[in-house]
């Protein structure tokens, strides 16, 4: 099992007992509570055993991409999907029985356990899993090659996007990466047909409705809930967008960056314009203190990739969590392999659903990956905290909780924290806070609309509202409407720009990331209150606070055994997701942005 940062693979696995001589015959007569209890007990044991097989083949495929590992993982995934569908359908026999609450919850989780349901037909199931594995590998292998034969992978192109200030070079890197997704377009159309068929066989309208049903509420209510939360934060985002557009207009000229329209996506420092922190030097106010340069501090201290992970481990042990097991250090991938292809996208794995936890990254010595490591270890700590739960409850309260835990911890990476761990001699004065907040907003606030729209696009695709002949147009309509960005060159339906984002070909739901950006601030505010921290929320670090650690542990240990509002209440005291904590955190910046934008025309 893995948790992606961007990307959590399905945790719940079940297997057709073909290798053991075939499935037992269907039960005869009316179902009973005792039969349901036996069914769940036997299913959980099988799931625990078979999940290890899928996780191990998935790990090898992700860290050593070859045709053979692709095939092995596709075969394991096919067994997993076919079995999961079979078990989910068999579980419906017990719907409506008077059962204990935990048994009813387990049955519902079986029904909702798949992110990729496949049709019953074995041939179609095999086709679906081959398409899924093929798109995943195509992304991992992706390179842009010039006419002169110079090839660059995503890591190299991303460094161009982050550091170059030449619009032509940025445009080439932006368009070049999107050549890798052209071949995915017909595959994704067929993928959608097959996945929707599998979802309908389980009783859902389409795959998007199935995904939305995983949040302890009806699908339409989740759609409304995400829009409600977006409306809470939209004014802050629009002020940030307005300010950044103005500053980029000063740098590149208003002809290149019109001051009444969307921002060209290639100028925002990130391949997908989902975070803008890499252009801080361009948009910082003249003379503004830039806060702490963590990248320079790490380089000055001679920290390597393993050292960055040690800092992350130290944070959690300071809260009272046990050290990472030795197998973590022996089996994780910290650096990009030099002699074979591997997926560098950061993810956290629990191979055996117990203590074989690992991370997979290609760590760069910079501030971004310092925070990403804290995030990924948050997944691992969560995985280990709930490993005493029954197998079907070994998961986050919902997908967003898994993402939010690590990010909430990363919010404690403050100047005060850097002083405590010896990377910084003294924290800068509060006069530098606006620079610090702007840096964070360029990543956190800028991400919010992108986090929302990736799944909105897929929900529309899965429902048929966006047909295949409008895939790319639908993508850019949402990106302009929510993000206020536009492509740097004309796009057409010959392109498949959604496929240039990992989570689309990897079939990983993205709503969890949007919700995690809401929840992480709720968690952070609650943990700071538990620790008795005073002062601005953005200056709070709960490093080395046992009370905050106990509060966090209480929530993590629940796993998925109860509906997520119960877990939310355990840590925050409220049962409703609320974006006001983001507004509290960035309140000083919001006031400053409004002052800067008073003479600007905001909106697009």
Instruction: Please state the domain count of the chain.
Output: 1
**Residue 20: predicted pLDDT:** 33
Tell me how far CA of residue 187 lies from CA of 56, 74, 124, 328, 505, in angstroms.
26, 15, 14, 36, 10
Per-residue HEC secondary structure of 412-447 comes to: CCCHHHHHHCCCCCCCCCHHHHHHHHHHHHHHHHHH
User: What is the per-residue burial (b if ≥16 Cβ within 10 Å, else e) of 498-535?
Assistant: bbbbbbbbbbbbbbbbbbbbbbbbbbbbbbbebbebee
132 part of a folded domain: yes
Which one of 241, 266, 374, 379 is the catalytic residue? 379
| Catalytic hit among 403, 410, 526, 570 | 403
Q: Which candidate in 241, 345, 524, 538 is catalytic? A: 345
Give the structural domain span for 211: 7-146+186-220
Q: Which residue is catalytic, options 482, 513, 521, 543?
A: 513
Contact 513, 6 (CB under 8 A): yes
Q: Let me know if 345 is a catalytic residue.
A: yes
Active site residue 33: no
> Which pLDDT score, from 0 to 100, does residue 26 have?
52
* Residue 346 annotated to the active site: yes
**How far from 103 is each of 33, 97, 396, CA to CA, in Å?**
9, 10, 18
Domain-embedded: residue 196:
yes
pLDDT tens per residue across span 35-80? 999 999 988 888 887 888 999 999 999 999 999 998 999 888 778 7
Contact residues for 185 (Cβ-Cβ < 8 A; gap 6+): 468, 471, 495, 496, 499
Give the pLDDT confidence score for residue 429 in this predicted structure: 80
| Residue 402 falls in the annotated catalytic set | no
Query: Rounded to 5 degrees, what are φ and ψ at 64?
Result: -150, 80
Tell me the C-alpha distance between 384 and 3, whole Å: 12
Give the strand pairing for 357-360 and 485-486. unpaired
Query: Is residue 238 included in any domain, yes or no?
Result: no
In this structure, are residues 369 and 303 in contact, taking their beta carbons and an 8 Å threshold? Answer: no
Residue 403 falls inside a structural domain: no
DSSP assignment string, 507-564: T---HHHHHHHHHHHHHHHHHHHHTT--S-GGG---TT-HHHHHHHHHHHHHTTSS-H
Contacts of 411 (CB under 8 A, 6+ apart): 520, 521, 524, 540, 585
Low-confidence ranges of the chain (pLDDT < 50): 5-25
Neighbouring-strand partners of residue 143: 153
Residue 409 domain-assigned (yes or no) = no
Q: What is the SS3 assignment for 286?
A: coil
The per-residue pLDDT for 406 is 86
Is 136 part of any domain?
yes
Q: Give residue for tokens 């606070």.
A: 545
- Does the annotation mark 379 as catalytic? yes
Q: Which of 421, 400, 413 is nearest to 519 (CA)?
A: 400
3-state secondary structure of 335: coil
| 4, 345 Cβ separation under 8 angstroms | yes
Strand, helix or coil for residue 569: helix
Residue 241 annotated among the catalytic residues of the structure = no
Catalytic residue among 503, 517, 524, 538: 503
Alpha helices in 253-332 (DSSP H): 280-283, 294-300, 305-318, 326-331
Catalytic residue among 376, 530, 544, 581, which?
Answer: 376
Q: Is residue 570 part of a domain?
A: no
H/E run at residue 357: strand 357-360
- One of 118, 132, 342, 346 is an active-site residue; which one? 346
Note the pLDDT of residue 22: 38
User: CA-to-CA distance for 98 and 318, rounded, in angstroms?
Assistant: 45
Task: State the catalytic residue, choosing from 241, 266, 374, 375.
Answer: 375
Establish if 44 belongs to a structural domain: yes
- Give me the helix-helix angle, 511-530 and 219-252, nearest 10°: 90
Place of tokens 């942005």: 593
Task: Please write the tens of the pLDDT for every residue from 534-550.
Answer: 989 999 999 999 999 99
- pTM for the model stands at 0.86
Q: Is 336 exposed, middle or buried (0-12, 13-18, 19+ CB in 10 A)?
A: middle
Residue 595: CB atoms within 10 A of its CB come to 9
182 is catalytic: no
Active site residue 503: yes
């Amino acid at each position: 099992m893995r948790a992606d940062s961007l990307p959590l693979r399905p945790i719940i696995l079940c297997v057709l007992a073909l290798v053991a001589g075939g499935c037992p015959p269907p039960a005869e007569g009316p179902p009973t509570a005792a039969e349901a209890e036996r069914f769940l007990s036997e299913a959980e044991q099988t799931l625990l055993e078979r999940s290890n097989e899928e996780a191990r083949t998935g790990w090898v495929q992700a860290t050593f991409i070859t045709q053979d590992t692709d095939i092995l993982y596709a075969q394991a995934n096919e067994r997993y999907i076919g079995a999961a569908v079979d078990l989910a359908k068999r579980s419906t026999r017990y719907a409506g029985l008077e059962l204990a609450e935990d048994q009813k919850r387990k049955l519902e989780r079986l029904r909702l356990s798949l992110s990729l349901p496949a049709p019953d037909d074995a041939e179609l199931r095999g086709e679906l899993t081959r398409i899924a594995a093929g798109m995943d590998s195509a992304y991992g292998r992706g390179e842009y090659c010039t006419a002169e034969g110079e090839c660059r992978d995503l890591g190299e192109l991303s460094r161009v996007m982050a550091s170059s200030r030449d619009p032509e070079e940025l445009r080439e890197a932006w368009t070049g990466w999107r050549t890798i997704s052209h071949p995915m377009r017909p595959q994704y159309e067929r993928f959608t047909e097959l996945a929707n068929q599998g979802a309908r066989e389980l009783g859902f309208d389409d795959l998007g409705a199935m995904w939305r049903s995983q949040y302890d509420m009806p699908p339409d209510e989740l759609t409304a809930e995400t829009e409600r939360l977006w409306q809470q934060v939209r004014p802050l985002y629009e002020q940030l967008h307005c300010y950044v557009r103005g500053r980029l207009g000063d740098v590149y000229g208003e002809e290149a960056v019109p001051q009444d329209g969307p921002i060209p996506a290639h100028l925002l420092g990130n391949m997908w314009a989902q975070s803008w922190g890499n252009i801080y030097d361009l948009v910082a106010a003249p003379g503004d203190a830039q806060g702490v340069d963590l990248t320079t501090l790490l380089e000055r201290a001679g920290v390597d990739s393993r050292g960055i992970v040690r800092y992350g481990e130290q944070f959690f042990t300071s809260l009272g969590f046990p050290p990472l097991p030795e197998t973590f250090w022996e089996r994780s991938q910290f650096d990009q392999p030099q002699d074979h292809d591997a997926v560098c996208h950061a993810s956290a794995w629990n191979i055996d659903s117990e203590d074989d936890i690992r991370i997979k990254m290609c760590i760069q010595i910079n501030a971004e990956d310092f925070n990403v490591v804290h995030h990924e270890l948050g997944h691992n700590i969560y995985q280990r905290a709930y490993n005493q739960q029954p197998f079907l409850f070994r998961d986050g309260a919902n997908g967003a909780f898994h993402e939010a835990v690590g990010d909430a911890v990363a919010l404690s990476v403050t100047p005060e924290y850097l002083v405590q761990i010896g990377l910084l001699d003294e924290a800068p004065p509060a006069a530098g806070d606006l620079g610090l907040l702007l840096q964070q907003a360029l990543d956190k606030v800028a991400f919010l609309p992108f986090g929302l729209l990736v799944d909105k696009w897929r929900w529309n695709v899965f429902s048929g509202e966006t047909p295949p002949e409008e895939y790319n147009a639908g993508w850019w309509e949402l990106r302009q409407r929510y993000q206020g960005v536009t492509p740097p060159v004309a796009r057409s339906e010959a392109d498949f720009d959604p496929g240039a984002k990992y989570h689309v070909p990897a079939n990983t739901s993205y709503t969890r990331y949007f919700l995690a950006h809401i929840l992480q601030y709720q968690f952070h505010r609650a943990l700071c209150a538990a620790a008795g921290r005073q002062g601005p929320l953005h200056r709070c670090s709960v490093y080395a606070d046992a009370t905050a650690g106990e509060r966090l542990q209480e929530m993590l240990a629940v796993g998925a055994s109860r509906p997520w509002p119960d877990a939310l209440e355990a840590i925050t005291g409220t049962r409703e997701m609320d974006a006001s904590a983001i507004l509290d955190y960035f309140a000083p910046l919001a006031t400053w942005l409004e002052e800067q934008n008073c003479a600007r025309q905001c909106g697009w």
